[in-house]
Chain A
Amino acid sequence: MELSGSQIVIEELKANGVEIAFGIPGGAIMPFYDEIMKSEFPHILTRHEQGATHMADGYARVSGKVAAVITTSGPGATNTITGLCNAQMDSSPIVAITGQVATPTIGTDAFQEADTYGCSIPVTKHNWLVKDVRELQGVVREAVRVATTGRPGPVVIDFPKDVQVAMTEYNPLEKTETALSAEPVFRIPEPDTKAIERLLEELERSEKPVIIAGAGIIKGGAAAELAEFARSAEIPVINTLLGMGGFPGSDPLFLGMPGMHGTAYANMALCECDLLINLGGRFDDRVTGKVAEFAPGATIVHVDIDAAELGKRVETDIPILADVRDVLALLNTQARKKDRQAWLGKVEAWKRDYPLQYDWDGSIKPQYVIEQIQEVSEGEGTYISGVGQHQMWAAQYLRFNEPNSWVSSGGLGTMGFGLPASIGAKVGRPDREVWLIDGDGSFSMSLVELATAATYNIPVKIAILNNNYLGMVRQWQELFFEKRYSHVHFPKSPDFAKIAEGYGVRGFDVKDVDQVRSTLEQAAEIDGPVVMNFHVNQEENVWPMVPSGAGNHEMQLGPQSTEKLT
């Protein structure tokens, strides 16, 4: 049968498991939008294209499925760049379809023309500009496959207006050719048996092993395998920021987060371990601190599905290029138990002696709000954060017991990620309550998407930990710039509860610590989005902290502490 380019894209999205789109129409994408309406393809109209990308990102992270983002040309497309970059850094799949001016006018500085192909090269896993309608079928198929295979990532299909309406013969069953170059990208490497043997030998020798489990555990669906391995071999597990939920937070072997704002006991374990097994993490600089002083006495094993991550930042003794789940499956059949009570006892003592803690002074402490969210939601929710101090407190004080229950912007650290990601997360897993923990600065960067939450009645529970500051920057200025608070204060913070009401969303303003619990309980009962503006202690800092560029052993535990971990 003969179909238009727009119809082919819809057919191929459906056939390849894309169930929903987030986007905004505009001039150069109108023929495609006409087809979206006619075909009744599920679509959520957002208020900003960046919001659409974060929604697709949040959707993917909780559901494991890929969503489409649809925008017009020019500003519509350039507005996606931050969201694409965010997804690229955190390995989240997105298929973005951007309208483009008609092919004869490309390159003439036409109205709303931008070089989307060029702009998106560094922020995508791959991208296409489709100039011939006959290529579309193959491109859409390959786009979904590239986005979701191996290390996932965002892709862009730039879709000129004349190609959207051009007609061509379409057979849904037709086999399209995969490019010679793309084939190996789709082949998942088998774990090298020699490397696995070496790992098993090291494991048998090791008296003080530690696992760092990254987002690869979650994306690779290996949480059950990890739990089996860690428990049977009795190895303590550290979760990276994005790896949270990959190992049960309630397990006695769980050590929390490593690095800059990690737990003291995680960093102590890293400093003292003799074997470090990194499963699907990428040794981010926030994790390692000063590389030369990272896990100084350890044999380092790194399992990653991306060859370019192996040996990139940390010298690795046993690199294993493979799907982490395949590796864990092998380990679970071969690893032998070894008695390491001395090490486990030591780790247990660190956990007891250096717990996460904060002081009471009658004000609303942000950590307290997070603990209360944990209790009210019984740890059964999906938790989202923006970027800043609140993000670190959330990662420290929430307990994640399931994979895909935590969504945060790790690599890029995109303020404004929280609200749209929450909306996407609720759409992706409607059965779970969604709680957004955000900061006043971060929330302000994308609060326009309250309109989207209101329009579709997407019940996200938004807790703003409002300290009238860009808190993380203020903390650094306090500690490293002698309290010179350069442009971080918001003396006139808006009344977020009123703003919410303006969008048709229930709003609460909370100034009294006694109202925290009851407000959260009320919010949980409301069938719709809710904004809670918690006026928290303005100068609360995130502890512990490893100063930027220092080794993890130089962690500072609190404001008064001069104690160094050695």
Chain B
Amino acid sequence: MPNNDQNNGDEEIHTFAVLVENKFGVLAKVASLFSARGYNIDSLCVGVTQDPSVSRITLVTSGDINILEQIRKQLSKLIDTIKVLELDDKETAERELVLIKVSAPKDKRSEVLQIVEIFRARTIDISNDALIIEVTGDEGKIGAMLELLRPYGIKEIARTGKVGLSRGAKTLKGLKN
């Protein structure tokens, strides 16, 4: 039940795809909507679409069902928003690219390279005691790879944040929902 008096139940993670005007300040408005309500953004990815006047924001956030509903409505309410869609895991092709700097001295290097191969990741930099690995995939793949690399010593990680498209012919276009 949506009220401020009690805990509203389970936290869920949701991914929103938002089409917005490609203008300065729009991202600040999206971010302000979150900070004003004390909601956290887990990841955020912005880029221009096939229409240069339109940008696509992929945003991962978490909260109970009422918070997520409020986020969807507030995103829709922004004047610069063209369309908001909640991406359903099952119907979405989603990817994230991660760069991982992992410790790999000579005696461990071949083990690490084996993991890279198994995950169809790439080694993009190599030095005496470390590798930079580029891996692309969905949450499951990236999580599994990080788990396997952790024992070797992860020195640094850079993540792009998740992007996603609905599977099939369905596209995110037209008017605000």
Contact, CB under 8 Å: A146 / B79? yes
Which residues of B are interface residues toward A (Cβ below 8 A)? 1-6, 20-21, 24-25, 28-29, 32, 36, 53-54, 66, 69-70, 73-74, 76-77, 79-82, 175-176
Interface-facing stretch out of A232-240, A305-313, A395-403: A305-313
What separation, in Å, do the CA atoms of A307 and B3 have in the docked complex?
17
In the complex, whether A285 has a CB less than 8 A from a CB of chain B is yes
Task: Report the minimal beta-carbon distance from A509 to chain B, rounded to whole angstroms.
Answer: 45
In the complex, whether A129 has a CB less than 8 A from a CB of chain B is yes
Closest to A549 in B: B5
Choice from A121, A181, A285 contacting B28 with Cβ under 8 Å: A121
Contacts of B28 in A (CB 8 A): 117-118, 121
Choice from B3, B32, B77 contacting A313 with Cβ under 8 Å: B3
What separation, in Å, do the CA atoms of A121 and B28 have in the docked complex?
8
Contact, CB under 8 Å: B5 / A311? no
In the complex, whether A412 has a CB less than 8 A from a CB of chain B is no
Contact, CB under 8 Å: B80 / A311? no
Closest to B1 in A: A315
Given contacts A122-B32, A179-B21, A180-B82, contact A311 B2 (CB under 8 A): yes
Contact, CB under 8 Å: A308 / B74? yes
What is the 8 Å Cβ interface bit string for chain A, positions 96-137, against chain B (1 contact, 0 not)?
000000000000000000000110011001110100000000
Contact, CB under 8 Å: A292 / B81? no
Closest to B71 in A: A308
Choice from A122, A181, A292 contacting B80 with Cβ under 8 Å: A181
What separation, in Å, do the CA atoms of A185 and B176 have in the docked complex?
8
Contacts of A129 in B (CB 8 A): 24-25
Contacts of A127 in B (CB 8 A): 25
Closest to A125 in B: B79
Choice from B69, B73, B79 contacting A185 with Cβ under 8 Å: B79
What separation, in Å, do the CA atoms of A184 and B69 have in the docked complex?
19
Contacts of A312 in B (CB 8 A): 2, 70
Contact, CB under 8 Å: A313 / B4? yes
What separation, in Å, do the CA atoms of A507 and B69 have in the docked complex?
54
Contact, CB under 8 Å: A181 / B21? yes
What separation, in Å, do the CA atoms of A182 and B73 have in the docked complex?
15
Given contacts A121-B29, A308-B73, contact A290 B21 (CB under 8 A): no
Given contacts A121-B28, A180-B82, contact A307 B77 (CB under 8 A): yes
In the complex, whether A335 has a CB less than 8 A from a CB of chain B is no
What separation, in Å, do the CA atoms of A308 and B2 have in the docked complex?
13
Closest to B176 in A: A184
What is the 8 Å Cβ interface bit string for chain A, positions 276-299, against chain B (1 contact, 0 not)?
000000000100001110000000
Contact, CB under 8 Å: A181 / B20? yes
Task: Report the minimal beta-carbon distance from B97 to chain A, rounded to whole angstroms.
Answer: 29
In the complex, whether A472 has a CB less than 8 A from a CB of chain B is no
In the complex, whether A314 has a CB less than 8 A from a CB of chain B is yes
Contact, CB under 8 Å: A292 / B73? no
